[in-house]
Structure 1
């Protein structure tokens, strides 16, 4: 067998090995991002109004919500399983209805700072679908009216796929997070920042959990879920192992074919 033909036998193995190496690179890149986010999250929050915070650094702001201006972004499912027993208990009535959790919304409201000099947008978290339908007549009156202190991270606009409908600010229909669009719909400057509220599910500290006499909503995103990829580092590790095993198997078969050809 010629050298050219022999090399072709190892081509599938080489391709699989290249894919394994690429998966390892992707795994390391994403793991570095997760590690950086974890380190930043462990630091004390900085004042959102004092300047730009580093990526994944927790920020804090104190002020009052304006419940007359509210945006419901969605529909979208709850992207994580709550660990807090109280949260699970409050969601139990919804869980008995098939599909009840498939069409919730993110609740976004303006928050005016205590000195009345600044206004920011706050993504308070996930609420069930009936909140949007009954907001004015029921749920708006249940929200906190006094000054609150919220902690989270600065949130940017989402990049929707071609399948997501366009937002209609005039109609109040927001299907994806558009920070500038939501700010302008509230008659706020387009560069108004948005804070995404976070909750540490391992902590029972007062003020870090949803406060509403109706139940456990809105549900802020857990700190552990801030950095999410469609494929997490562990997934890339599993893919790398799969490609590596495939490469080794193909190389073994190529060697067997070469040895058989020499007989």
Structure 2
């Protein structure tokens, strides 16, 4: 991953910096033995020129790492602004669900309002999933964290009475022992209800994520086309918000803002490398300390 690449680059630059520092050392042959005579003084104009080139060449390393650290600061500011925008969308005043697929494609994370009835006989289960704490999600958006508890998200076809279509609604999280519907009959709401949720689009399977097992009803990522074929719904999917939670049923508000935000680690890495190589450069060329 990217963090590993940064660590590898850091290690290589450090080794390069130290290796280049050792270039002025000389080894001579005397009576059949190699004797290290230390740093030889540079007296010729050519040797002075080489030392000057080496001095300014090595300065490129702290300058470059400082630039990379500053770039990561700007990247972090951009990422935090993007996360804030997504959080505002997921908390904005809901709008009626549009039917235009082109409009829907531009409304991911937008809150919408629908009214209709659930078809609990065709539940789908996305698992394993850990519960989302909305307040914690707002604080730690984009980080990789887990509560340790696992269960499933319950996806239920929802017939919109005002629109005349059936969509898919992620009713929310249930623990492993509550996945089977007969274990949570109190939460299997009947009749017409209003649901406020967040528009979600189809997902592409990520590396190492298992394929969906349609026959066993074990889904690992949102494949709206496949889910629609199984349930007869149109490929429209919303995450019900926490306010749509039914007592005894799945816990809504399971929208996770999955934006990686590791820029602070990169900032510390690059600025730390800049500080280390700056000190080494200062010690060698200004203080004349043997490293």
Q: Per the shorter chain, which TM-score range?
A: 0.7 to 0.9
- Does the CA-based 8 Å contact 1:101-1:128 persist in structure 2? no
Q: Does 1:68 align with 2:121?
A: yes
- Does the CA-based 8 Å contact 1:113-1:119 persist in structure 2? yes
Which structure has more relative contact order (CA 8 Å, sep 6+)? It is 1
User: How far 1:257 moved relative to its partner?
Assistant: 0.9
User: Structure 1: which 5+ residue stretches go unaligned?
Assistant: 84-98, 200-207
Q: Does 1:161 align with 2:214?
A: no
Please give the alpha-carbon distance, in whole angstroms, between the structure 2 residues aligned to 1:159 and 1:21. 33
**Cross-structure match for 2:274:** 247
Paired residue secondary structure (1:159): coil
**Cross-structure match for 2:285:** 258
**Cross-structure match for 1:197:** 240
User: How far 1:140 moved relative to its partner?
Assistant: 4.7
**Cross-structure match for 1:227:** 257
Please give the alpha-carbon distance, in whole angstroms, between the structure 2 residues aligned to 1:123 and 1:178. 13
Paired residue secondary structure (1:68): helix
Which string of whole-angstrom CA distances, capped at 9 and with x for unpartnered residues, describes residues 20-67 of structure 1?
133223212212212322443453211114543534321111111000
Please give the alpha-carbon distance, in whole angstroms, between the structure 1 residues aligned to 2:83 and 2:224. 24
TM-score by length of 2: 0.68
User: How far 1:100 moved relative to its partner?
Assistant: 10
Which string of whole-angstrom CA distances, capped at 9 and with x for unpartnered residues, describes residues 204-236 of structure 1?
xxxx15213x3xx412226xx6433232xxx52
Over 3 Å counting, the alpha-carbon distance change for 1:262 and 1:49 in structure 2 is: closer
- Does the CA-based 8 Å contact 1:58-1:152 persist in structure 2? yes
Please give the alpha-carbon distance, in whole angstroms, between the structure 2 residues aligned to 1:261 and 1:15. 23
**Cross-structure match for 1:86:** none
Which consecutive segments of 4 or more residues in structure 1 shift more than 6 A? none
* Alignment equivalent of 1:17, drawn from 66, 85, 101: 66
* Alignment equivalent of 2:245, drawn from 210, 214, 223: 210
- Does the CA-based 8 Å contact 1:70-1:108 persist in structure 2? yes
Please give the alpha-carbon distance, in whole angstroms, between the structure 2 residues aligned to 1:140 and 1:67. 10
* Alignment equivalent of 1:77, drawn from 112, 119, 130: 130
RMSD: 3.0
Over 3 Å counting, the alpha-carbon distance change for 1:111 and 1:170 in structure 2 is: same
Please give the alpha-carbon distance, in whole angstroms, between the structure 1 residues aligned to 2:270 and 2:129. 34
Over 3 Å counting, the alpha-carbon distance change for 1:120 and 1:184 in structure 2 is: same
**Cross-structure match for 1:148:** 193
Please give the alpha-carbon distance, in whole angstroms, between the structure 2 residues aligned to 1:22 and 1:181. 41
Q: Does 1:178 align with 2:223?
A: yes
Aligned residues: 228
User: Structure 2: which 5+ residue stretches go unaligned?
Assistant: 1-49, 137-145
User: How far 1:5 moved relative to its partner?
Assistant: 1.1
